[in-house]
Chains A and B, each alone.
Chain A
Amino acid sequence: MFIIVALSVILFSIGNEKVPQNLTGGLLWVVIFFSAMSGLSRAFVSEEDRGTTLLLHLIAKPSTIFNGKLLFNLILVFLMNIVITLLYSALFEEFVLRNILLFLATFFLSNIGLAVASTIIAAIISKAGAKGTLYPVLSFPILLPLILISVMLTSYSMLGTSFDQALVEIMVLVCYDVIMLTASYMLFDFIWKD
Chain B
Amino acid sequence: MNKYHLTAEQITKKFGRRLIFSNLNFQFQKNGIYGITGINGSGKSTLIKIIAGIISPSSGKVIHQFNNKLIDSENLHNNIGFVAPYLIMYEEFSAWENLEHISKIRGIKFNTELFNSLMDDFLLLERKDDLVKTYSSGMKQRLKFLFALMHSPKILLLDEPTSNLDDAGKESVYNIIKREGHDKIVIIASNEKSDLDLCDIKLKLQDFKL
A46-97 contacts to B, CB under 8 A, are 50-52, 54-55, 57-64
Chain A 179-194 per-residue mask, 1 if CB under 8 angstroms from chain B, else 0 = 0000000000000011
- Shortest Cβ distance from A56 into B: residue: B105
User: A194 touching B56 by the CB < 8 A rule?
Assistant: yes
A52 to B147, CA, bound (A): 13
Chain B 72-95 per-residue mask, 1 if CB under 8 angstroms from chain A, else 0 = 001101001010101111110000
A64 to B74, CA, bound (A): 10
Q: How far is the CB of B9 from chain A (nearest CB, A)?
A: 18
User: B88 touching A57 by the CB < 8 A rule?
Assistant: no
A52 to B75, CA, bound (A): 20
User: A54 touching B56 by the CB < 8 A rule?
Assistant: no
User: B87 touching A54 by the CB < 8 A rule?
Assistant: yes
Please, which residues of chain A bring their CB within 8 A of the CB of B84?
54
Please, which residues of chain B bring their CB within 8 A of the CB of A58?
52, 54, 77, 80, 82, 87
Q: Does B178 contact A (CB under 8 A)?
A: no
User: A193 touching B56 by the CB < 8 A rule?
Assistant: yes
Please, which residues of chain A bring their CB within 8 A of the CB of B105?
59-60, 64
Please, which residues of chain B bring their CB within 8 A of the CB of A55?
87-90, 102, 147
User: A51 touching B86 by the CB < 8 A rule?
Assistant: yes
Of A52, A61, A64, the residue contacting B90 (CB under 8 A) is A52
Of B55, B89, B102, B147, the residue contacting A193 (CB under 8 A) is B55
Chain A 26-58 per-residue mask, 1 if CB under 8 angstroms from chain B, else 0 = 000000000000000000000000111011011
Q: Does B179 contact A (CB under 8 A)?
A: no
User: A59 touching B77 by the CB < 8 A rule?
Assistant: yes
User: A50 touching B77 by the CB < 8 A rule?
Assistant: no
A193 to B49, CA, bound (A): 10
A52 to B90, CA, bound (A): 7
Are A57 and B90 CB-contacts (below 8 A) given A193-B54, A193-B55, A194-B55?
A: no
Q: How far is the CB of B176 from chain A (nearest CB, A)?
A: 18
- Shortest Cβ distance from B157 into A: residue: A58
B9-60 contacts to A, CB under 8 A, are 52-56
User: B75 touching A61 by the CB < 8 A rule?
Assistant: yes
Please, which residues of chain A bring their CB within 8 A of the CB of B53?
193
B93-121 contacts to A, CB under 8 A, are 102, 105-106
A60 to B105, CA, bound (A): 7
A191 to B25, CA, bound (A): 26
- Shortest Cβ distance from B82 into A: residue: A58
Please, which residues of chain A bring their CB within 8 A of the CB of B56?
193-194
Please, which residues of chain B bring their CB within 8 A of the CB of A193?
53-56
Please, which residues of chain A bring their CB within 8 A of the CB of B74?
61-63
User: A59 touching B87 by the CB < 8 A rule?
Assistant: no
Q: How far is the CB of A113 from chain B (nearest CB, A)?
A: 27
User: B77 touching A52 by the CB < 8 A rule?
Assistant: no
Q: A52-B88, A54-B54, A55-B102 are in contact. List 15 more A-B contacts (CB 8 A).
A: A50-B88, A51-B88, A52-B89, A54-B87, A55-B88, A57-B52, A57-B54, A58-B52, A58-B54, A58-B77, A59-B77, A60-B106, A61-B77, A62-B74, A64-B105
Can you list 17 A-B contacts with CB-CB less than 8 angstroms, sorted by A residue number? A50-B88, A50-B90, A51-B88, A52-B89, A52-B90, A54-B54, A54-B88, A55-B87, A55-B88, A55-B90, A58-B80, A58-B87, A59-B105, A59-B106, A61-B74, A193-B53, A194-B56
A residues in contact (CB < 8 Å) with B: 50-52, 54-55, 57-64, 193-194
